[in-house]
Structure 1
Amino acid sequence: MDSIAGTKSSLTWALHISVALLVIAWIVPTLGLFVSSFRTADQISSSGWWAALFPTEQTIQLRTASPDNQTRAEGLYIIEGNLFEVGSMPSGRISAWGTSARDVSAHAPGDTVDMGDDGRLTLEADGTYRLENDEEFAGRRGERVFVTVAILPEFTLDNYYQVLGPNNREGMAKAFFNTLTVTIPATIIPILVAAFAAYALAWMDFPGRALLIAAIVGLLVVPLQLALIPLLRLHNEIGIGKGYIGTWLAHTGFGMPLAIYLLRNYMVGLPREIIENAKVDGATDFQIFMKIVLPLSFPALASFAIFQFLWTWNDLLVALVFLIDATGETTVMTRQIVELLGTRGGNWEILATAAFVSIAVPLIVFFAMQRYLVRGLLAGSVK
């Protein structure tokens, strides 16, 4: 009875579970990247993003103030202050501390430890300390102290300011606009060209139409890597290599087969009566295309626009080949992130922010136009 039309398959639960797993596998890394983009470097290195809302306990090395800050009172040489004010460490509550790396939690807050010739150190839970000695302190650096501290959650916008700010050193702001400069024309140009070609293949009779359709289908399976070097040589010979124009044309050429195939399938499925009535009324093919076919084909146009935008925005290979610029004036975001990985391998907060900025725009585009995606992909599949 499971094969009767209208009855639910017994494997529906497996489909639901598979979809749920795919959604989780996609959302969890994105959420982790988003949370990490607001965290400080110390918190990223000490705990995972899932612990961002909870205090994290870590052992860090701090130093007291240098001997230049000592004062003399009651026959003693005294250095006072707060360990968290020396350097740029976040404040927190100290649960244990020590003066040796071999035992970093030997003492409790409030204990006074005799360090011999280096004096006597008293450390409180809030980081305040008092270091006193009968003799004058010598040396250039303060005493080393290992503290186990519970650091409260901290979120900051400094990562985004450092990546996208006007004085950013990472080059991501310029790379962001360079990526827009590449992506927007590389999305619009193939749509304009492919829409005309798709209408011709769908509704106009001319010799060789079937062969053209077969050639377009065959081009869908041709790897773009085969054409990169010959195309770059051609661009260099005609003077458009190493620039935006060559990149736009490369993306247009590589995206054109899918665009024509997708739009042609959709236009073929439009009611024939509408086209025939328009021709009877004396409309030309251009008028039919502009006033009837193009408005009705908006779901397919939006569907391809999503694909093309996501591809060009996330592209690295074409950008490396056709945007050769030693000065970095035309560097796109994907290439800039690769350079950050090479030069800033330890600055995970910068990398997380840069990566999330890179995926934020495609996410906005996808969710804004995703309702047209399925309609465009299913075009022509049902008569």
Structure 2
Amino acid sequence: MIGAARSPLMWVVHLSVLLLVLIWTLPTAGLLISSLRDKDQLAVSGWWTALSSSTRNDVFRAPTAEAQVERDGKFVISGNVRDSDAGTISAFGISSREPVAFKAGETADLSDGAKLTVQADGSFEIVSDTSMEGARGQRIFFTASTPPRFTLDNYREVMNASGIGASFINSLTVAIPSTIIPILIAAFAAYALAWMEFPGRSLLIAVVVGLLVVPLQMSLIPLLKLYNGVGGFLGVPAKTYMGIWLAHTGFGLPLAIYLLRNYMAGLPREIMESARVDGASDFDIFVKIILPLSFPALASFAIFQFLWTWNDLLVAMVFLGTGNNELVLTGRLVNLLGSRGGNWEILTASAFITIIVPLIVFFSLQRYLVRGLLAGSVKGG
């Protein structure tokens, strides 16, 4: 009876999980498909049409009368209305009011008595019994159907762009220390707040919780002024990696301390008491007991902190600069798009290039992430 009563609820849960998976997966799949599509097709149709032929309307102006040649007593202007990727011509016209008045292979009568024929492969001929005149060529409106095309050109354009390799190294130089430093500091602080008794501990915990709601944008300028003032006093250059490491450390510490403190506070007290009975100091307990047991929580925060620092652009621009030698990968890819977004078709390929390293980090530490999320959810009797 209990199983039967829970059955509808389980179906709701499973369907909800499936819906959430689809909501997160579909945009990613669309981004991947778009990154592999031809940029011309990407500009005129959505990724869900990637497996179907695309249709586009265009106009071509034929050569002027100077290009005509005499052939079998008639005067002919010939050429091809499409470029190499225009596909198959399905219809054409000689007026913007009727751009698809004729099917491919049919003949249209022009106003000067000449005749225009456009074939499916795009080739055309304008034939007249008399010599043609005019300073401008005939406009030919046409509809082209192009089969789906997939290519790696977008990835090649991004990878071959100048400075991509240096920016990739810059991003690694920023992200790795900016992940390790706050974890080291937060681990010590979390242990002290969880297991060491000292005056003002509750106040410090409240301050840490309060700092979680401070927006990064609000504290960015004061932190920069403080850093420049201290750096100027000590003779340290303003735009250095040390500055951005300290900035990311400051922004990441409140969350790191909060998460690690809550995790460490849930560890069994008996283990620490037994270690103290055996004469272990707080440092020994922290290094030999707390850190190994807290590795899932440390790995969980490392994933989130690395993702944040790897994808960051604002803090990097403020503390590291926008010079050609200091620009991180996200900044370099933004520059590739052009000042007005004219090369937006490479955005999809850029997105997948930037997530390669985070995916490696995530899949390497995911088992610890799951353990960290589930820790404490089940307790023994």
TM-score, normalised on structure 1? Answer: 0.83
Task: Verify the 8 A CA contact 1:44 1:348 in the aligned structure 2.
Answer: no
SS state of the match for residue 104, structure 2?
A: coil
Task: Verify the 8 A CA contact 2:190 2:257 in the aligned structure 1.
Answer: yes
How far residue 98 of structure 1 moved from its aligned partner, in angstroms, is: 1.1
Corresponding position: 1:216 with 2:191: no
How far residue 82 of structure 1 moved from its aligned partner, in angstroms, is: 3.2
How far residue 132 of structure 1 moved from its aligned partner, in angstroms, is: 3.3
Corresponding position: 1:303 with 2:300: yes
1:127-146 maps to which residues of 2 (within 5 A)? 127-134=122-129, 143-146=138-141
Residues 67 and 375 of structure 1: CA distance in aligned 2, closer, same or farther (over 3 Å): farther
SS state of the match for residue 222, structure 1?
A: coil
How far residue 371 of structure 1 moved from its aligned partner, in angstroms, is: 3.4
In the other structure, the counterpart of 1:249 is 246
Residues 114 and 334 of structure 1: CA distance in aligned 2, closer, same or farther (over 3 Å): same
Structure 2 unmatched ranges of 5 or more: 232-236
How far residue 7 of structure 1 moved from its aligned partner, in angstroms, is: 7.4
SS state of the match for residue 103, structure 2?
A: coil
Residues 66 and 42 of structure 1: CA distance in aligned 2, closer, same or farther (over 3 Å): farther
In the other structure, the counterpart of 1:161 is 156
How far residue 49 of structure 1 moved from its aligned partner, in angstroms, is: 0.7
Structure 1 unmatched ranges of 5 or more: none
Corresponding position: 1:345 with 2:341: yes
In the other structure, the counterpart of 2:94 is 99
Distance 1:233 1:55 in 2: 57
Task: Verify the 8 A CA contact 2:62 2:139 in the aligned structure 1.
Answer: yes
How far residue 262 of structure 1 moved from its aligned partner, in angstroms, is: 1.6
Task: Verify the 8 A CA contact 1:232 1:241 in the aligned structure 2.
Answer: no
Task: Verify the 8 A CA contact 1:268 1:380 in the aligned structure 2.
Answer: no
Question: Over residues 26-75 of structure 1, what are the superposed CA-to-partner deviations in whole Å (9 max), with x where a residue is unaligned?
Answer: 22222212211122232123211100011122222234456676544323
Question: Over residues 251-285 of structure 1, what are the superposed CA-to-partner deviations in whole Å (9 max), with x where a residue is unaligned?
Answer: 11111111122222222333444444545555554
Residues 275 and 138 of structure 1: CA distance in aligned 2, closer, same or farther (over 3 Å): farther
Distance 2:183 2:273 in 1: 25
How far residue 14 of structure 1 moved from its aligned partner, in angstroms, is: 4.1
How far residue 124 of structure 1 moved from its aligned partner, in angstroms, is: 1.2
Residues 67 and 296 of structure 1: CA distance in aligned 2, closer, same or farther (over 3 Å): farther
Task: Verify the 8 A CA contact 2:337 2:344 in the aligned structure 1.
Answer: no
In the other structure, the counterpart of 1:22 is 20
Residues 243 and 64 of structure 1: CA distance in aligned 2, closer, same or farther (over 3 Å): farther
1:30-49 maps to which residues of 2 (within 5 A)? 30-49=28-47
The worse-fitting range, judged by mean Cα deviation, of 132-141 and 43-52 is 132-141
Give me the identity figure in percent: 59
SS state of the match for residue 370, structure 1?
A: helix
In the other structure, the counterpart of 1:268 is 265
Distance 2:102 2:327 in 1: 53
How far residue 104 of structure 1 moved from its aligned partner, in angstroms, is: 1.0
Distance 1:10 1:299 in 2: 34
Distance 2:331 2:135 in 1: 44
In the other structure, the counterpart of 1:331 is 327
In the other structure, the counterpart of 2:367 is 371
Residues 142 and 190 of structure 1: CA distance in aligned 2, closer, same or farther (over 3 Å): farther
Residues 129 and 54 of structure 1: CA distance in aligned 2, closer, same or farther (over 3 Å): same
Distance 2:85 2:263 in 1: 59
Aligned length: 374
How far residue 102 of structure 1 moved from its aligned partner, in angstroms, is: 1.3
Distance 2:291 2:279 in 1: 18
Task: Verify the 8 A CA contact 1:262 1:376 in the aligned structure 2.
Answer: no
Distance 1:222 1:136 in 2: 79
In the other structure, the counterpart of 2:318 is 321
In the other structure, the counterpart of 2:120 is 125
SS state of the match for residue 247, structure 1?
A: helix
TM-score, normalised on structure 2? Answer: 0.83
In the other structure, the counterpart of 1:234 is 226
Distance 2:30 2:136 in 1: 39
Distance 1:295 1:206 in 2: 25
Distance 1:277 1:141 in 2: 96
Residues 56 and 247 of structure 1: CA distance in aligned 2, closer, same or farther (over 3 Å): same
